[in-house]
Copies of this chain bind each other. A is one copy, B any other.
Amino acid sequence: MLTVFGTVALDTTRTPFRTETRILGGAATFASVSSSMFAPTSIVAAIGSDMPAEHIRALSSKGIDTKGIIIIQGSKTFHYDSSFDYDLSNRTTNKTELGAIAGFDPVIPEEYIKSDYVYLANNDPKQNIKILRHFQKPRLVVCDTIEFWINGSRDDVVKMIEMTDGVVINDNEARLLCKEANLAKCAKKIMSWGSKFAIIKKGENGAILFTKEGLVFPAAAFFLDEIVDPTGAGDSFAGGFLGHIARKGVTDFSTMKEAVIYGNVMGSFAVEDFGIKRLLSITKDDIEDRYEKYCNLVQF
């Protein structure tokens, strides 16, 4: 089983073309819907009593085990309000209402403790460290982090990375975390803290996988004529990456490279519509078709 710990949120997303209010979002939502297309997935999250039941049903309908989603009575669901600029490349935060996730003490259902694969999304690194102790003996633990924690709790971020097998992180956040501009050096620093591999995500410019053995795999992004909403691309990438590894059950370099491409593919679906809409509608065939298309696209 693959367990995802992160936010199941309500997002208000404003692009120059459209605004969507309080739609289903959150790192765990994107990652789990993405990974559920590859392997049995369960989710750990805290939501408020205002979360529409249909949203949780949408996750269950993908076969995701939602037992780990706790409703914090009297709290509101994490709400993230942001605006994208004209070319959808820069996001401005308008409002962050933590609600139910503030001070959330993650507990995991008994059924999850044997999870082989764990994705710790951009939560408070202290929470990520804490939840990790509940798992019996995961084969692969991957984490992400964001500017907020790097600025406020860098030591905890480093401690968290010490305890994980792999890090999936945005380029600019890697630079901020490592105090280093060169991405190869960032990856080396992350791996010096204990991580066996690091994947640096570069948005529309693809991703680079670095391993402790010194192997490197740069991958162009799947090419899209148009992007509707970049929200969730990174977590969808992580879900596809870990999902493919979980379904194959191995972590050799060749599988990890395929997993990066599946990550790209899932990220490319995510941005084709607002929020989680597109990811909820695709089939396994759609994924394999796009993987094939990607292979043809980059072949020379």
**A206 vs B297: C-alpha distance when bound (angstroms):** 14
**A260 vs B300: C-alpha distance when bound (angstroms):** 9
Task: Let me know if B297 and A216 touch, CB within 8 A.
Answer: yes
Decide yes or no whether A221 CB sits under 8 A from chain B.
yes
Copies in the complex: 2
Which listed residue, B87, B182, B208, B220, touches A219 by the CB 8 Å rule? B220
How many of A's residues come within 8 Å of B, CB to CB?
A: 31
**A135 vs B89: C-alpha distance when bound (angstroms):** 42
Which listed residue, B181, B202, B225, B297, touches A86 by the CB 8 Å rule? B181
Query: Given known contacts A300-B254, A300-B260, is B217 in contact with A184 (CB within 8 Å)?
Result: no
Minimal Cβ-Cβ distance residue in B for A222: B218
List, in ascending order, chain B residues with CB within 8 A of A300's CB: 217, 219, 254, 257-258, 260-261
Query: Given known contacts A202-B205, A300-B257, is B218 in contact with A184 (CB within 8 Å)?
Result: no
Query: Beyond the given A87-B175, A206-B206, could you list 20 further A-B residue pairs with CB under 8 A, ordered by the A residue number?
Result: A87-B181, A182-B227, A184-B223, A184-B224, A184-B225, A202-B205, A205-B205, A205-B206, A208-B223, A217-B297, A217-B300, A218-B220, A218-B223, A218-B297, A219-B298, A220-B220, A254-B300, A257-B300, A260-B300, A261-B300
Question: Nearest 6 A-B pairs (CB), nearest first?
Answer: A87-B181, A205-B205, A257-B300, A218-B220, A220-B220, A184-B225
Residues of A bordering B, CB below 8 Å: 86-89, 175, 181-182, 184, 202, 205-206, 208, 216-221, 223-227, 254, 257-258, 260-261, 297-298, 300
